[in-house]
Amino acid sequence: MSKLIITAALTGGFHGRDANPNLPEQPDEIAQAAYDCWQAGAAIVHLHARDKSGKVTCDPQIYAEIVAKVRARCDVITQVSTGGGPGLTPEERSKAIEVDADMASLNMGTMVRTRWGEGSIGLNTRSQIESYAKAMLDKSIKPEMEVYSHSMIVDVNNLIEKNLVKEPYYIDFVLGMTNQGALPGEPKHLLSLIEYLPEGAIFNVSGVGPAQLPLTTLAMLLGGHSRVGLEDNIYYTKGILAKSNAQLVERTARIARELGREPASPGEARQILQLGAYGAR
Ligand code: ZN
């Protein structure tokens, strides 16, 4: 099996330091966390921006500062979030694509939040998804297509049919969100989703909360890739907060090696994903 691409989701758009005081929020903290995760074996960092008060934003200036600070420290692949978080409009979220990151996340459908703004809608209509994908294509930013349920595969296929995404199609199965419209973090759902992978696709797995460790380990066995980090899971084990994002990456790299999936370096991940070289941007 190929090497394992480990993504570290460092911050997220939901909880703050009240949930885990080790959550990096400001650009310098995020850049340091990215460096630590890179040293621990991460090839990609998935980034969210926060304003000075810690509130989620897709301000391209803050994103650009984070990306520049990460790149100054190491060659890890940068992936900005266009999902942002509660309270951001689709237009505000699209600003993340203005930044010259290597990749950007792309939510493949609409969900209704049950926490952090309960009842608010994470709106991702088909035409919005297409316009995000087009903007990424025009800038050679690789989309990380986030799929939370089977119905979102329909929208992945729509982008493929319309030539709005390039091979290898990179799909992140995100399981365990409490949102309406998202599947629970159970192995049977991951096994089922894989059946619907389009030809030419590579998959990554994000498990939220207690699903992070089992589902990202299952992904290794199934030939997929793994995303861990404090965005998805603030605990190291039940009741014990993680000390850092790097602590979660270290465990993932250790398990991967035991299972014969050596972690991919950023350079190797760039080849697998067919991204441009480090320094090309
Ligand atoms: Zn995210």
Specify the higher pLDDT residue, 1 or 36.
36
Tens digit of each residue's pLDDT (9 = 90 or more) over 190-224: 999 999 999 999 999 999 999 999 999 999 999 99
Phi and psi dihedrals of 145, rounded to 5? -80, 110
Going by pLDDT thresholds of 50, 70 and 90, the confidence category of residue 276 is confident
Cα of 199 vs centre of ligand 1, distance in Å, is 25
CB–CB of 4/264 below 8 Å? yes
Return the pLDDT at 151: 97
Look at residue 277 and tell me whether its pLDDT is greater than 90: no
The reply to whether omega before 168 is within 30° of 0 (cis) is yes
Cα of 82 vs centre of ligand 1, distance in Å, is 8
For 61, the 3-state DSSP assignment is helix
The domains located in the chain, with CATH, are 6-273 (3.20.20.70)
In angstroms, rounded to a whole number, what is the distance separating the alpha carbons of residues 217 and 207? Answer: 10
Look at residue 280 and tell me whether its pLDDT is greater than 90: no
**0.95 exceeded by pTM:** yes
Cα of 279 vs centre of ligand 1, distance in Å, is 24
What percent of the chain is predicted at pLDDT more than 90?
95
Mean pLDDT of the chain: 97
Cα of 256 vs centre of ligand 1, distance in Å, is 23
